[in-house]
Amino acid sequence: MSNEITGAQSLVRALEEAGVDVMFGIPGGAILPAYDPIYDSKIRHILVRHEQGAGHAATGYAQVTGKAGVCIATSGPGATNLVTPLADAHMDSVPVVAITGQVPAPAIGTDAFQEADIRGITMPVTKHNYLITDPADIPRAISEAFYIANSGRPGPVLVDIAKDALQKMTTFSYPKRAELRGYRPQIEPNSESIKDAAALIAQSSKPVFYIGGGVIKANAAKDLLKLAEVVGAPVVTTLMARGAFPDSHPQHLGMPGMHGTVAAVTALQKADLLITLGARFDDRVTGKLSTFAVNAKVIHADIDPAEIGKNRYADVPVIGDLGPTIRALVPAVEAEFKKNKPDLTTWWRQMNSLRTTYPLGYNEPSDGSLSPQYVIERIGQLTGPDAVYVAGVGQHQMWASQFIKYEKPRTWLNSGGLGTMGYAVPAAMGAKVGLPDTPVWAIDGDGCFQMTNQELVTCALNNIPIKVAIINNESLGMVRQWQTLFYQGRYSNTDLNSKRVPDFAKLAEAMGCVGLLCESKGDVDRIIKEANAINDAPVVVDFSVHRDAMVWPMVAAGTSNDDIMIAREMAPDWDSQEL
């Protein structure tokens, strides 16, 4: 029959139908049939150097564009290399579609060469996954995969396809509308719960907006701005929500949590109402749960019903997409405020006092060496709020969340839930592919960088000119900080000796990038500007910084937010605060 095509051709056509414009991957035996039609497809395929890079790149792409990112790998080791980025995307609710080749169906279960049960392995770290052995099922699985990844609470979906299904002949029919009996995300919030939420807001004299990454996923930042201004309450944005509300806005108290501002942490602790939008009461935000916001009632709005009551009881749950939810709350609150508008003056006086007494800050090192916070702050100031900033995991990540000022959603990317070292370089690559005209800075650690820097080769060869700032403190700094504070300074295996080995600038040059070194404060601005001016190659700047700098404030793991420290052995002076 003339309209018969191979399963592989069917796969590529389905990806085209799904609107895919780019995918990141590496071929191998089991997926090889798919790479033949990829050769002719209009979809751009970017050949990465490690499948983990493909997965994080798909994540970075998705986080800046809001569209599912796509990665593709072969069976066995190719597929298992995707596990970390899939788990990462799962924790941070990022839409990713992963395509993997599988050994031919008759060989499945025989421990065939390069066989791994990737559907079984990824079951707990994907939103859903498929194993396809019949070529006729390929278009439907791809269509469903994109629908599931992008809708509801977004997440990664893996489609594992047996090699013989890619090789066999089939006919192509792409279902644009597929009915999934067991998957029906609730979009519109229940009007009763909107009313109840508005009523609680109108009774509260100490409300706080506790904003999570869901607001960004729902593209609801503008709606939030409106609601926040109508309510007039303080706003805190979690690590995943930086940029959901402008840092320059007078109602913004900053980030709560383990390394949050004193004002943001205390606002949650002392509130009588948490207006929780797209956040999930993560332990890094709540501290010791039993002592978290003990006097607060909770409005919890989320698209995922399983988040309601998971960690904290919700007095008013609101299930639905945050866009319609927040838009419904605005008139509901306005109506309540006509009857009764609480006076927040005292509450604001308390919060303003905290924010002026305990602003974020840092001490310059006394020996004249570079302060990591200063470097990061200047990158933000000189590059501006339209750029995208992508962090690794560690001290530099926390400083990048604290000292870069975010004004817009989707300008701050990081691995919040899984805390994946090695995320930054490939995620920045994916972000730059998604937004080729936007400057993208990876703020990376010397430790993290050494996990996935090989993707700079991919960037150099594929005209993906990202910029990477290595905040080189010659150590696994965040772990070292814990050793300083909790293990009597016994620095077991946290010294990376990375001042000269590797020579990061030379390494960058070897990978086809521009490599720069910055060792003194006087050179910081000049070098950042130099990096910002380069648009035809990736740039790596090795910022050699003071190694003993620490991230403050800090709520030690497992302790109460009430025990927040602003420096070593230094708590805020609560007695001088009117709380």
Partner 1 sequence: MAQHTLAVLVENSPGVLARVASLFSRRGYNIDSLAVGPTEDPKVSRMTIVLNLEGHALDQVSAQLFKLVNVIGIQEMKESGSRQRELLFVKVAAKRSEIESLIGGIPAEIVDERDGSCIIQAVASNKDLAELVKKLEKFGIRELVQSGAIAIEFGAKTLAEQTAIETGLATSDTHQQTQDYQN
Ligand X SMILES: Cc1ncc(C[n+]2csc(CCOP(=O)(O)OP(=O)(O)O)c2C)c(N)n1
What residues line the site for ligand X (CB under 6 A)?
Answer: 392-396, 419-421, 445-448, 471, 473, 475-479
Out of Mg ion, ligand X, partner 1, none, which partner does residue 124 contact, by CB within 5 to 8 A per kind? partner 1
Binding piece for partner 1, criterion CB under 8 A, among 85-93, 307-315, 458-466, 513-521: 307-315
Q: Which of 10, 41, 19, 305 lies closest to 150 in space, CA to CA?
A: 19
Q: Which is the catalytic residue, given 16, 17, 114, 334?
A: 114
446 binds Mg ion (CB under 5 A): yes
Cβ contact 559:288 at 8 Å = yes
User: Could you say which of ligand X, partner 1, Mg ion, none residue 448 binds, taking C-beta under 5 to 8 angstroms by partner kind?
Assistant: ligand X
Catalytic residue list contains 511: no
The number of residues that bind partner 1 (CB under 8 A) is 43
CB 322 within 8 A of CB 303: yes
- Smallest separation (angstroms) from partner 1 to the CB of 181: 5
Sheet with 69-73: strands ordered across: 44-47, 22-25, 69-73, 96-102, 156-162, 128-132
C-alpha distances out from residue 129 to 67, 99, 164, 180, 231, Å? 18, 10, 19, 14, 42
Which 265-304 positions form the footprint of partner 1 (CB under 8 A)? 304
Q: Give the residue, chosen from 11, 20, 58, 541, that forms a contact with partner 1 under the rule CB under 8 A.
A: 20
Marked catalytic residue, from 9, 23, 24, 51: 51
What residues numbered 337-356 form the site for Mg ion, per CB under 5 A?
none
Q: Which residue reads 């700098």 in tokens?
A: 549
Q: Which of 246, 532, 527 is nearest to 411 (CA)?
A: 246
- Residue nearer to ligand X on the CB measure, 394 or 426: 394
Q: Which two tokens stand for residue 569?
A: 């052995």
- Cβ 131 to partner 1, closest distance in Å? 7
- The window from 52-60, 476-484, 522-530, 543-551 that contacts Mg ion (CB under 5 A) reads 476-484
Burial zone of 425 (CB within 10 Å; 0-12 exposed, 13-18 middle, 19+ buried): buried
CA dist 151 and 143 (Å) reads: 12
User: Is position 144 an interface residue for partner 1 (rule: CB under 8 A)?
Assistant: yes
Active site residue 192: no
309 binds, among ligand X, partner 1, Mg ion, none (CB under 5 to 8 A by kind): partner 1
Q: Which is nearer to ligand X, 223 or 474 (CB)?
A: 474
C-beta separation of 444 from 425 below 8 A: yes
- Contact status: 21 vs partner 1 (CB under 8 A): yes
Residue closer to ligand X by CB (options 122, 266) is 122
- Helix (H) or strand (E) segment spanning residue 372: helix 372-383
Q: From Mg ion, ligand X, partner 1, none, which one binds at residue 131 (CB under 5 to 8 Å depending on kind)?
A: partner 1
Contact stretch for partner 1 (CB under 8 A) within 127-135, 323-331, 342-350, 480-488: 127-135
Pair 98, 73: CB distance under 8 Å: yes
Residue 120 lies near partner 1 (rule: CB under 8 A): yes
Nearer Cβ to ligand X (256/445): 445
What is the torsional sign of CA 399, 400, 402, 404? positive
Question: Sign of the CA dihedral 535, 539, 95, 215?
Answer: negative
| Least distance between ligand X and beta carbon 155 (Å) | 20
Which of these, 215, 208, 152, lies nearest to 408 by C-alpha position? Answer: 215
- Between CA 352 and CA 360, with CA 355 as vertex, the angle to 5 degrees is 165
DSSP bridge pairs for 554: 565
Q: Which of 113, 123, 169, 486 is catalytic?
A: 113
- The CA–CA distances, whole Å, from 216 to 63, 279, 333, 443 equal 9, 11, 22, 21
Site pattern 187..206 for partner 1 (x: CB under 8 A): xx------------------
Report if residue 309 touches partner 1, rule: CB under 8 A: yes
- Identify whether 502 is preceded by a cis peptide bond (ω within 30 of 0): yes
Rule CB under 8 A: which of 166-185 touch partner 1? 175-185
Strands 69-73 and 96-102: parallel
Picked from partner 1, ligand X, Mg ion, none, the partner binding residue 368 (CB below 5 to 8 A depending on kind) is none
Does residue 232 bind partner 1 (CB under 8 A)?
A: no
For β-strands 128-132 and 156-162, DSSP reports them as parallel
Q: Is 569 a catalytic residue?
A: no
Give the span between the Cα atoms of 338 and 331, in whole angstroms: 11
User: Would you call 478 a catalytic residue per the annotation?
Assistant: yes
Residue 421 interacts with, from Mg ion, partner 1, ligand X, none (CB under 5-8 Å by kind): ligand X
Separation CA 284–CA 48 (nearest Å): 33
Stretch that binds partner 1, among 147-155, 282-290, 376-384, 549-557 (CB under 8 A): 147-155
**Interface with partner 1 includes 123 (CB under 8 A)?**
yes
DSSP characters for 411-467? SEE---SS--TT-HHHHHHHHHHHSTTS-EEEEEEHHHHHHHTTHHHHHHHTT---E
Q: Pick the catalytic residue: 63, 144, 146, 163?
A: 163
Indicate if 113 belongs to the active site.
yes
Pick what 420 binds: partner 1, ligand X, Mg ion, none; C-beta below 5 to 8 Å, kind-dependent. ligand X
Q: Which does 378 bind (CB under 5 to 8 A by kind): Mg ion, ligand X, partner 1, none?
A: none
305 interacts with, out of Mg ion, ligand X, partner 1, none, CB within 5 to 8 A per kind? partner 1
DSSP 488: T
Residues that bind Mg ion (CB under 5 A): 445-447, 473, 477
- The residues that are catalytic are 51, 113-114, 163, 478
Residues that bind partner 1 (CB under 8 A): 17-21, 67-68, 70, 119-120, 123-124, 127-128, 131, 143-144, 146-148, 150-151, 175-188, 304-306, 308-310, 313
